[in-house]
Structure 1
Amino acid sequence: MDTETTPLENIHLRSKIRGYARDQRLECRMKAKDALRIGLGQVKEEVAALESLGTKDVVGMAGRIKRRKHATSEDLCRLSLAFLQGNDNINAFAVIPGAIQVLVKELTGPHIQRHIDAVECLCNLSLGEAHISEKIASLAGSYMVTYLDGKEERLKKACLWTLANILATCEKAGRTLLQMQLVPKLWRLYSDPNGCQEDAGICLFLVATHCLQHVSAEDRRYIAQNLHEKKPEDPASEYFMYIVHQMEIVGQDQELGAPQAECLVHFFEATLASSVGSLSLIYAVRVMANLMAKKEPHLLGLMAEPQILVKTLNQLFALRDPQLSLDLMRLLRNFLQLNLSDSNQLLDTLQIYA
């Protein structure tokens, strides 16, 4: 199997995380306005005060919730806003013994809204450094992974945002989360038209980028068996081929049936028809090369037809992308080894650009 990879840019995902943080900030402002609506003349002043929460304010709030062993929705909103204002506030909170545990405690009560407030607060806390993500994963990871099975969409989204922050920040914390059956849950959400497909796709992308060595054989088998549940027209499909390639789903030790192989061919065709960048094409070609390396022509569908393959190869060689061309040569080599057509005749119809 061809497993060579190239560095993958995370700019798009980091931008998304920053966007989530901005959305959270706006939501917190609205919640703060509702909570502090003492009179129209005071609302603006109170909200303005929230904009400049410093480390002393954070330490004070941490001390109060620790003494009470409880955090109100207003406490959680204020802390969420404070964490967005910088790492100093995050670090000031994190060093208070028992403070994070109070936030985690709010995940265990009977009120869904309190769960949402607490996870959104932890989400902003997880924007901190690796040791903070590690602590959140160990204390709250099991709750967030469990809530992915629930029906409350806002809670699931908040959990996925937090998990994404953790996966992007700390490999050790990512390993902890993967031991909680995170990957199958993410794949179900990624494939479910009624799920949080974009957010689950980002999390799977981050798993494949930062925690690949901690993905279990069972997790890989689960994805291999359920590949066909994901459709090319679904949200976040641009991550599909990268996830499949990095996790070695199309490997010699993974059995693929006709529905799974057909899914891969459809994704390959959809990638060719889209305006995605060369990086997406590279991973799509690598997955198809690995599918051909399984030496089971019946799994290839239309790609087993020499004339269709030649047309596809010529289309991609014409892009004159050096890395893509190298992967196309691997795909061509694997196809020729299947002995489905006269090799010399096929090679004569190729248009390979130097």
Structure 2
Amino acid sequence: MEVEPVSFIRESTRNLIKLSRRMHRDEESDSRRSLKETSITSEDIASIASKLKTKSAITVTDLRTLKNGLMSDTKHIEVFLNEHGALRGLVRELTGLNVDKQCLAAGCCCNLALGDVKACSTVAKAAGSYLVAALDNLTVDLAVTCAWTLGNLAGSGNKVCSILAAQGALSKLSDVHTNEDLQDAALYALLHFTSQMKDQLKPEHLQKILQMLPKLELTTNLLHLLFILSCHDHFTENMSEQLLEKLLKDLPSAIEEYNRQTKVHYKLLYIVRVLANSDKMYGLTLNYCLNNNVCDGFKSVLSRNNSVINNSLFWLLGNLHKYCNDDGLIVKLLS
């Protein structure tokens, strides 16, 4: 049985969110791990946690071992969090004056955020406000790691998203566009927030995110985020003409890229779906398609017989037809 477009996209979104959250790692430090560090034990984690708990002198090596240990085995997350006061000590290092220790402490939080909902709730309550504040830090590596951490935390569920949103995470992430790496990390985080919160995302947060997006390049991740936002109850009233025009201008190149590939092209899929959901701007979409030879591109897409893409495109065309009430529209577009 063929996969319906909505079901396909929802399932793909769930899988991508789950995969991206679990696969995010600090690859540089991982590649530099020594043979000894690959066999970090629960006792090692408990020992470092005890140092943090008792305010003993903690070294850069200790924090690096802790970060790698939390990444290598999820059981170590439970060991660390069960040591009362250890997380508070980690936050102390995160907010300290030693940049190297700050970055490593943020990395530890990032890997703690790969735990279950209970673990993520604990980390969010203890460290969330400090992670949000660090997004403004002039040390880019620290700011980027904190953004990834917020994304990992948000990926655990709506409960944690609500905690972080109350701490200002969504507002701050929606105002990050000064550095490419930080932009990517912020989009990663926002993708998790919006996917988990759905219509519980407040209209003011939706509006702020949509105001940020026109300033950024239309990458697949950005379009994925925009598609999720387009399913929100208050999307159409906050969608700007500037963002719509940017989407329409990118549509022909997305069609060309799709025609050069043999697999589902997510960029085209997301653009088509967002346009189909932008019901208050169907007039602009229709005029652009008719005046910029996009119709030939539509025909080339439909000729490839990809049910997922084609059904999405027919959905858009059907909405445009219903909008203008012109029985000959489909003929005009595809003749």
TM-score (norm 2): 0.83
Structure 1 segment 214-225 matched on structure 2, within 5 A: 214-225=200-211
- In the TM superposition, residue 144 of structure 1 has moved relative to its aligned partner by 0.9
Structure 1 segment 187-336 matched on structure 2, within 5 A: 187-189=174-176, 191-192=177-178, 194-232=180-218, 237-248=219-230, 253-275=236-258, 277-291=264-278, 293-295=279-281, 297-298=283-284, 302-305=288-291, 308-336=293-321
- In the TM superposition, residue 57 of structure 1 has moved relative to its aligned partner by 2.3
What do residues 200-255 of structure 1 show as CA deviations (whole Å, max 9, x unaligned)? 222222223223244211011112333321223xxxx1022221121127956524
Amino acid at match of 2:72: Q
Distance 2:149 2:238 in 1: 33
What is the match of residue 109 of structure 2? 122
Q: In the alignment, is the contact (CA less than 8 A) between 1:183 and 1:204 conserved in 2?
A: yes
Q: In the alignment, is the contact (CA less than 8 A) between 2:213 and 2:222 conserved in 1?
A: no
Q: Secondary structure at the match of 1:223?
A: helix
Matched residues, percent identical? Answer: 22
Distance 2:200 2:165 in 1: 7
Distance 2:191 2:24 in 1: 18
Q: Secondary structure at the match of 2:52?
A: helix
Q: In the alignment, is the contact (CA less than 8 A) between 1:250 and 1:290 conserved in 2?
A: no
What is the match of residue 91 of structure 2? 104
- Partner of residue 82 from structure 2, selected from 95, 115, 140: 95
- In the TM superposition, residue 69 of structure 1 has moved relative to its aligned partner by 5.8
Greater shift in the superposed pair: 10-19 or 317-326: 10-19
- In the TM superposition, residue 102 of structure 1 has moved relative to its aligned partner by 0.7
Amino acid at match of 1:337: K
What is the match of residue 331 of structure 2? 347
Q: Secondary structure at the match of 2:54?
A: helix
Q: Are residues 112 and 64 of structure 1, via their aligned partners in 2, closer, same or farther at CA, if it must alter by over 3 Å?
A: closer
Q: Are residues 250 and 304 of structure 1, via their aligned partners in 2, closer, same or farther at CA, if it must alter by over 3 Å?
A: farther
What is the match of residue 28 of structure 2? 23
Q: In the alignment, is the contact (CA less than 8 A) between 2:113 and 2:153 conserved in 1?
A: yes
Q: In the alignment, is the contact (CA less than 8 A) between 2:22 and 2:114 conserved in 1?
A: no
Q: In the alignment, is the contact (CA less than 8 A) between 2:282 and 2:320 conserved in 1?
A: no
Greater shift in the superposed pair: 169-178 or 90-99: 169-178
Amino acid at match of 2:182: C
Amino acid at match of 1:18: M
- In the TM superposition, residue 304 of structure 1 has moved relative to its aligned partner by 4.5
What is the match of residue 125 of structure 2? 138
Distance 1:330 1:273 in 2: 20
What is the match of residue 80 of structure 1? 67
Amino acid at match of 2:90: L
Distance 1:127 1:332 in 2: 41
Structure 1 unaligned residues grouped into runs of 5+? 30-46
- Greater helix percent: which structure? 2
Amino acid at match of 1:321: N
Amino acid at match of 1:242: H
Amino acid at match of 1:244: L
- In the TM superposition, residue 174 of structure 1 has moved relative to its aligned partner by 2.1
Q: Secondary structure at the match of 2:328?
A: helix
Distance 2:333 2:104 in 1: 62
How many residues end up aligned between the 2 structures?
324
- In the TM superposition, residue 21 of structure 1 has moved relative to its aligned partner by 4.0
What do residues 245-280 of structure 1 show as CA deviations (whole Å, max 9, x unaligned)? 211279565244432221221233342233473443
**What's the RMSD between the two structures over aligned residues?**
3.1
- In the TM superposition, residue 142 of structure 1 has moved relative to its aligned partner by 0.9
Q: Are residues 51 and 196 of structure 1, via their aligned partners in 2, closer, same or farther at CA, if it must alter by over 3 Å?
A: same
Q: In the alignment, is the contact (CA less than 8 A) between 1:313 and 1:350 conserved in 2?
A: yes
- In the TM superposition, residue 104 of structure 1 has moved relative to its aligned partner by 0.9
Structure 1 segment 23-102 matched on structure 2, within 5 A: 23-26=28-31, 29=33, 48-68=35-55, 71-102=58-89
Distance 2:282 2:116 in 1: 47
Q: Secondary structure at the match of 2:136?
A: coil
Amino acid at match of 1:325: N
Between structure 1 and structure 2, the one with the greater Rg is: 1
Q: Secondary structure at the match of 2:150?
A: helix
Amino acid at match of 2:305: R
What is the match of residue 44 of structure 1? none
